[in-house]
Amino acid sequence: MGRVTERRRTLRIRDGAVSERPDTLVAEEPLEIRLDGRPLAVTMRTPGDDFALAAGFLVSEGVLGAASELRTIVYCAGAREDGSNTYNVVDVRLAPGVPVPDITLERNVYTTSSCGLCGKASLDAVRTTARFPVDDSPPVRVTPALLSLLPDRLRAAQRVFDRTGGLHAAALFTPEGELVDVREDVGRHNAVDKLVGRALREDRLPLSRSILLVSGRASFELAQKAVMAGVPVLAAVSAPSSLAVDLAAESGLTLVGFLRGNGMNVYTGAERIDVRDGA
């Protein structure tokens, strides 16, 4: 399996002083996901948690919703001339009786910001494929003070970021602010898929008592992944997109952006944010 980081020689310039030194970079390699032996998708990712990444991707695509629907995930033989495994191809086998989508047709890739589909089509696609409506009964309630603590807790858990400065991260917290899981990846969407895939394989879906925090902006794709996993609260340290806000409003997702220091913007689902006495 590929390494998470790699070393490269660099020319370092600081305040006019020039030196050569090695630098630690985050690794980026393609991962091909196959479904029952047939190519489905390719994503650029940081090696590690590949099986969780594949499973989480299939949750986002509406193919999987429970651990019982997953039969196996294995690495396929690689493409090197000597026949050795590249560990860049995984094959997901569904359990007997689980419908296999018709991947001979053009995939409905409404998950990407550049897909060119109109907003209405994108929202309809999520609504028709979501397994878990956002249903946190009793409703999750969090205070702004608790939310403001989460970015630092996420940052403290980013071990690879400390060495590279080049990774996104996503984390799951309980409504009390306890860190449940954290994943890092060169792509925000991959980090979330790794979280969701681990939850699926441990039979923890839907994530109806969870707060999902992402280290960057909240795109439509990330809001979609939260909805597909049944997450009631999505928080981001940067801005959301307009379509992410539309999806959150339609699905009942609480969407928080610009979560920095003691400040934040609540775009949808404000009923889950307990602001009594300015808390």
Query: Annotated catalytic residue: which of 115, 157, 180, 239?
Result: 115
Q: Report angle CA 8, 13, 14 to the nearest 5 degrees.
A: 125
Secondary structure (H, E, C), the chain: CCCCEEEEEEEEEECCEEEEEEEEEECCEEEEEEECCEEEEEEEECCCCHHHHHHHHHHHCCCCCCHHHEEEEEECCCCCCCCCCCCCEEEEEECCCCCCCCCCCCCCCCCCCCCCCCHHHHHHHHHHHCCCCCCCCCCCCECHHHHHHHHHHHHHCCHHHHHHCCCEEEEEECCCCCEEEEEEECCHHHHHHHHHHHHHHCCCCCCCCCEEEECCCECHHHHHHHHHCCCCEEEECCCECHHHHHHHHHHCCEEEEEEECCEEEEEECHHHECCHHHC
Say whether 115 is catalytic. yes
Kindly list the catalytic residues.
115
